[in-house]
C-alpha cells in the first residue's frame, strides 16, 4: 500500500532532486572559473534557470498542467507593489548605511563615467544619479526579470504552492527561504558571490536576508495567485541592490560588512518587512492559480 505521506511529498522530492542535479553542472562551471560572471555571465544565467526547467520537467513527470504554475497576471496592484517593495527596503537600508558613514554616498568616478556615457554635458551629479535610477529602474528591470523568471518558475511557481498545501504560510516561507538560500551556498563559499567579508559572515547575513524576504514573496504569490509578483520582486531586488545602491556606495573602511546581500544592514531591515508580512500571512487563504 502506498504511504500517503510519501506520496504527498513526492512532487517536492522530484523537483528538488532535478533542481540540484541540473544546478551541479553550473556550480562546477562557476566554481572552476572562480567567478559568478564566468562564461560572460552565461553560467549564472544557466544556474538561475535550473529551478524553472526543473519545475517544468516535474510537471511533465506528474502529468500536471503547466498552467497551474500561476502564469496569470492577476491584479496589477500586486505587481506594482512587487516592484516598489524591494526599492523601499533597499532605500531604507542604504540610507542607514550612508547616515552612519558605514558606506559613503556617492562614488564620484561612477557619476563621472555616467555623465560621459549620457553625453548630456555637465548637468550636475544629482541629475545624473536621478536619471540613472530612472532609466535603470525602468529598462533594467526587464533584463533583471529575464533571469529571475528562471528561478521563480521553480521557487514560487511550483515549490511555494506545493508546500502551502501542507504547511500553510509561515512554514512555507521558512522552508522555501531555507532551500533557496542553501541553493546559493556553493557559489557563495567557493566562487566570488560575496562582497569581500569572511564566508561565515557573508553566509549568515545572506541566509537571514533570503529567509526574511521569502515571507514577502510567499505572501504576494499566494495573495495574487500570480507567479509574476515573485518575478518582479526578484528582478527588482537584484536590480536596485546590485546595479544601483551598491555601485553608488563608497568604501569607508568596513563597508563590505554593512552593504549588499552579504552585509548586516539589509537583513535587519528585511526582518522588519518579514514580520509585517508574517502578520498579514497568518490570515491568508490560498488563491487558485486561475483567479
Separation of alpha carbons 185 and 71, rounded Å: 29
Instruction: Grade residue 125 by pLDDT with cuts at 50, 70 and 90.
Output: confident
For the segment 224-236, what is each residue's pLDDT rounded down to a tens digit? Answer: 999 999 999 999 9
- The residue among 226, 261, 228, 224 whose CA lies nearest residue 243 is 261
Instruction: Grade residue 7 by pLDDT with cuts at 50, 70 and 90.
Output: confident
- The residue among 206, 216, 67, 228 whose CA lies nearest residue 145 is 228
Q: What is the pLDDT of residue 289?
A: 45
Instruction: Grade residue 69 by pLDDT with cuts at 50, 70 and 90.
Output: very high
- The residue among 179, 182, 172 whose CA lies nearest residue 217 is 172
Residue range 72-80: average pLDDT?
94
Q: What is the pLDDT of residue 123?
A: 83
CA-based R_g, the chain, Å:
20
For the segment 144-194, what is each residue's pLDDT rounded down to a tens digit? Answer: 999 899 999 999 999 999 999 989 999 999 999 999 999 999 999 999 998
Domain ranges within the chain, ordered by starting residue: 72-281
Q: Which DSSP state fits 41?
A: G
Q: What is the pLDDT of residue 1?
A: 44
Q: How many CA atoms lie less than 13 Å away from 233 in the CB half-sphere?
A: 26
Q: What is the pLDDT of residue 6?
A: 60
Residue range 279-290: average pLDDT?
66
Q: What is the pLDDT of residue 113?
A: 87
Instruction: Grade residue 21 by pLDDT with cuts at 50, 70 and 90.
Output: very high
270 pLDDT higher than 60: yes
For the segment 237-268, what is each residue's pLDDT rounded down to a tens digit? Answer: 999 999 999 999 999 999 999 999 999 999 99
For the segment 193-225, what is each residue's pLDDT rounded down to a tens digit? Answer: 988 899 999 999 999 999 999 999 999 999 999
How deeply is 118 buried, as exposed, middle or buried, from its count of CB atoms within 10 A (0-12, 13-18, 19+)? middle
Q: What is the pLDDT of residue 94?
A: 97
47 pLDDT higher than 90: yes
Separation of alpha carbons 277 and 139, rounded Å: 28
Calculated CA dihedral for residues 41, 49, 235, 66, nearest 10 degrees:
160
Instruction: Grade residue 3 by pLDDT with cuts at 50, 70 and 90.
Output: low
For the segment 134-150, what is each residue's pLDDT rounded down to a tens digit? Answer: 888 888 988 899 989 99
Amino acid at each position: 500500500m502506498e504511504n500517503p505521506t510519501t506520496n504527498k511529498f513526492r512532487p517536492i522530492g522530484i523537483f528538488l532532486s532535478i533542481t540540484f542535479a541540473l544546478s551541479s553542472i553550473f556550480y562546477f562551471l562557476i566554481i572552476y572559473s572562480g567567478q559568478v560572471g564566468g562564461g560572460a555571465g552565461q553560467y549564472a544565467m544557466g544556474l538561475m534557470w535550473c529551478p524553472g526547467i526543473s519545475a517544468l520537467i516535474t510537471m511533465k513527470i506528474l502529468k500536471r498542467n503547466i498552467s497551474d504554475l500561476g502564469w496569470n497576471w492577476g491584479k496589477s496592484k500586486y505587481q506594482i507593489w512587487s516592484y516598489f517593495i524591494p526599492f523601499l527596503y533597499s532605500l531604507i537600508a542604504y540610507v542607514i548605511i550612508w547616515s552612519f558613514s558605514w558606506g559613503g554616498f556617492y562614488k564620484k568616478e561612477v557619476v563621472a563615467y555616467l555623465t560621459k556615457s549620457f553625453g548630456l554635458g555637465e548637468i550636475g551629479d544629482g541629475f545624473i544619479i536621478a536619471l540613472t535610477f530612472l532609466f535603470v529602474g525602468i529598462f533594467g528591470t526587464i533584463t533583471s526579470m529575464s533571469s529571475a523568471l528562471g528561478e521563480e518558475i521553480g521557487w514560487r511557481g511550483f515549490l511555494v504552492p506545493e508546500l502551502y498545501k501542507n504547511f500553510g504560510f509561515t512554514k512555507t516561507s521558512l522552508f522555501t527561504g531555507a532551500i533557496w538560500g542553501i541553493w546559493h551556498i556553493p557559489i557563495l563559499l567557493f566562487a566570488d558571490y560575496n562582497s569581500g567579508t569572511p564566508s561565515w559572515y557573508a553566509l549568515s547575513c545572506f541566509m537571514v536576508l533570503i529567509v526574511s524576504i521569502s515571507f514577502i514573496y510567499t505572501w504576494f504569490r499566494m495573495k495574487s495567485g500570480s507567479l509574476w509578483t515573485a518575478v518582479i520582486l526578484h528582478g527588482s531586488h537584484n536590480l536596485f541592490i546590485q546595479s544601483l545602491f551598491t555601485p553608488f556606495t563608497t568604501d569607508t573602511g568596513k563597508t563590505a560588512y554593512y552593504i549588499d546581500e552579504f552585509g548586516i544592514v539589509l537583513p535587519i531591515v528585511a526582518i522588519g518587512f518579514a514580520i509585517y508580512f508574517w502578520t498579514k500571512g497568518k490570515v491568508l487563504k490560498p488563491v487558485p492559480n486561475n483567479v
